[in-house]
């Protein structure tokens, strides 16, 4: 899926990921859909904020199950076209009073695994990908594993409304 490198494009990416997962049998209010949609949302927002090149789109690829990964794993890839020369993104814990900087940290805590690599087919830019289990596991909020309450700084972001999943 291809989106404009704008906040609207990031919102559309999030909605289409949720819709695609629902079409695959993971309802909007399920843990797998909520987790994968949150991860896609963070990666798309980062592509718009840090990888934006005016006039160039970012791409989202959603695959399940992932080849070589355990069955029941979804992979979310977001590719931008930002030219080389910028450092690779890293997951760091933001200061408690910071208004930004938690996206990749959340991804790192919610995903089974994630990484940064070259864009498929080459060219400028990068791909950030994350894999999440579609079964109850520690990457699903509300399961017996990690939850947003366990992620430092995830509860004290100004203006963020949190909802508990089923």
Map out the domains of the chain as residue ranges: 2-150
Q: Report the mean per-residue pLDDT for the chain.
A: 74
Who contacts 124 (Cβ-Cβ below 8 Å, separation ≥6)?
Answer: 81, 82, 83, 84
pLDDT over 90 at 49, yes or no: no
Q: Which fold, 2-150? A: Heat Shock Protein 90 (3.30.565)
Residue 73 has a pLDDT of 84
pTM of the entire structure? 0.72
Q: Where are the extended beta strands (E) located within 44-100? A: 57-63, 73-79
Rounded to an integer, the average pLDDT of 123-127 is: 84
* pLDDT (average), residues 99-126: 84
Which of the pair, 86 or 153, is modelled with greater confidence?
Answer: 86
Which whole number is the average pLDDT over 54-79?
77
* Lowest mean pLDDT, pick from 23-32, 100-109, 142-151: 142-151
Q: Are 78 and 95 in contact (CB under 8 A)?
A: no
Name the most confidently modeled range: 62-76, 97-111, 116-130, 142-156.
116-130
Q: Are 113 and 52 in contact (CB under 8 A)?
A: no
pLDDT band at 79 (very low <50, low <70, confident <90, very high): very high
Mean pLDDT of 25-50: 88
């Amino acid at each position: 899926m291809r989106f404009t490198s704008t906040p609207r494009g990031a919102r559309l990416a999030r909605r289409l990921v949720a819709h695609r997962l629902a079409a695959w049998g993971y309802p909007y209010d399920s843990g797998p859909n909520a987790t994968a949609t949150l991860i896609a949302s963070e990666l798309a927002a980062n592509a718009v904020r840090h990888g934006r090149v005016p006039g160039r789109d970012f791409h989202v690829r959603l695959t399940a199950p992932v080849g070589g990964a355990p069955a029941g794993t979804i992979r979310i890839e977001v590719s931008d076209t930002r030219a080389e020369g910028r450092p690779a993104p890293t997951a760091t814990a933001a200061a408690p009073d910071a208004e930004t900087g938690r996206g990749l940290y959340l991804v790192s805590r919610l995903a089974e695994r994630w990484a940064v690599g070259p864009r498929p087919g080459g060219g400028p830019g990068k791909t950030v990908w994350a894999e999440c289990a579609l079964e109850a596991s520690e990457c699903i909020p509300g399961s017996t594993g990690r939850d947003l309450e366990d992620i430092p700084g995830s509860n004290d972001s100004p203006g963020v409304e949190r909802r508990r999943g089923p």
